[in-house]
Amino acid sequence: MTGKPDHIQKNAGRIVISVDAMGGDAGPAVVVAGIAMSADKNPDLGFILHGPEDQLKPLVAKKRILNGRVEFRDARDVVTMEDKPSQVMRNGKGTSMWSALDSVKQGEAAGAVSCGNTGALMALSMLRLRKLPGVNRPAIAILWPSRNPQGFNVMLDVGADVRADAQDLLQYALMGTSYVRNSMDIPRPRVGLLNVGTEEHKGHADLKEAYGLISDHSETGGFDFVGFVEGSDIPGDTADVIVTDGFTGNVAIKTGEGTASLMRITLREAFEYSFLSKIAALLAMTSLKRLSKRLDPRRVNGGVFLGLNGTVVKSHGGADATGVSAAVKLAFRLAQQGFAEKLAARVASSVALTQDKPAQMDETSPDQAPTKKD
Interface contacts to a second copy, rule CB under 8 A: 84, 119, 145-147, 159, 162-163, 194, 196-197, 201-204, 230-236, 244, 246-248, 250-263, 265-267, 269-271, 273-274, 276-277, 279-284, 286-288, 290-291, 294-295
CA distance 33 to 15: 19
| Nearer of residues 46 and 85 to a second copy, judged by Cβ | 85
CA distance 151 to 137: 28
Burial class (CB in 10 A: 0-12, 13-18, 19+), 24: buried
Given a contact cutoff of 8 angstroms between Cβ atoms, the answer to whether 321 and 1 are in contact is: no
| Nearer of residues 203 and 370 to a second copy, judged by Cβ | 203
Quote the least distance from Cβ 210 to a second copy, whole Å: 14
> For residue 371, what is the DSSP state?
T
Give φ, ψ of 60 to 5 degrees: -70, -40
Quote the least distance from Cβ 191 to a second copy, whole Å: 17
Quote the least distance from Cβ 319 to a second copy, whole Å: 16
DSSP track, 8-21: GGHHHHPEEEEEE-
Given a contact cutoff of 8 angstroms between Cβ atoms, the answer to whether 153 and 262 are in contact is: no
| Nearer of residues 267 and 353 to a second copy, judged by Cβ | 267
| Nearer of residues 106 and 277 to a second copy, judged by Cβ | 277
Closest C-alpha among 131, 224, 133, 111 to residue 176: 224
Quote the least distance from Cβ 273 to a second copy, whole Å: 5
| Nearer of residues 61 and 162 to a second copy, judged by Cβ | 162
Closest C-alpha among 284, 254, 255, 252 to residue 267: 284
Quote the least distance from Cβ 258 to a second copy, whole Å: 4
| Nearer of residues 93 and 278 to a second copy, judged by Cβ | 278
CA distance 314 to 318: 11
DSSP track, 43-85: TTEEEEEEE-HHHHHHHHHT-GGGTTTEEEEE--B---TT--H
| Nearer of residues 12 and 279 to a second copy, judged by Cβ | 279
Angle formed by the axes of helices 339-354 and 166-183, to 10°?
150
| Nearer of residues 10 and 299 to a second copy, judged by Cβ | 299
CA distance 68 to 371: 42
Given a contact cutoff of 8 angstroms between Cβ atoms, the answer to whether 206 and 165 are in contact is: yes
Quote the least distance from Cβ 248 to a second copy, whole Å: 5
Measured in Å, how far apart are the chain's first and last C-alpha atoms? 14
